[in-house]
Amino acid sequence: MKQPNRLPYDPETYTIPITFSSSDPGDLQTLYFGMVGSPMMTTPGNFKIYFPTKGRITKIMLSTYSNLGAGTAEDISVYFRLNNTTEWLVQLVALATGTREYINRNLNIPVTTADYGEMKMVCPTWGTNPTGMRGGGYIYVEVP
């Protein structure tokens, strides 16, 4: 439902892209990424995602592709981390395929312009590690 003070082109939902470039996840690594498009890093706080308006995150969708080697089917968890403190699971995936998708359409995470987020990937002890992993997707924010 449009708010009375909105212009006709104002969105009720906006998306924020998330991405990382070619990475080789190691055993038991916790990796972070955001909007920058560089390789994932083990240190949080480098890829802060800022919100242009207050709202609530309703879904996050991420697709990864390992073009040099799929790796084995151990559990990989992807989280959204708000203000470097609170985390919500996007999805846990255990597939031995080059493409893995992490989707959560049932989120309800309130955000303000003072908040920042970051994406977090928790890796297992791999039988065979994926190589050349890259990813991209969107955070969907509903505007009140």
Q: How far is CA 3 from the centre of its chain?
A: 29
- What are the structural domains, with CATH classification, of the chain? 16-139 (2.60.120.260)
Mean pLDDT score of the chain: 91
Per the rule left: phi > 0, alpha: psi between -120 and 50, beta: everything else, 45 is left
How far is the C-alpha of 91 from the C-alpha of 31, rounded, in Å?
A: 15
How far is the C-alpha of 33 from the C-alpha of 19, rounded, in Å?
A: 7
pTM (2 d.p.)? 0.88
Residue 69 · residue 22 · CB < 8 Å:
no
Q: Extract the tokens encoding 46.
A: 């480098």
pLDDT tens for 106-115 read: 999 999 999 9
**Predicted local confidence at residue 37, as pLDDT:** 86
CA atoms within 13 A on the CB side of 129: 13
**Tens-level pLDDT at each residue, the chain (144 residues):** 445 555 555 568 999 999 999 999 999 999 999 998 899 999 999 999 999 999 999 999 999 999 888 988 889 999 999 999 999 999 999 888 889 999 999 999 999 999 999 999 999 999 999 999 999 999 999 998
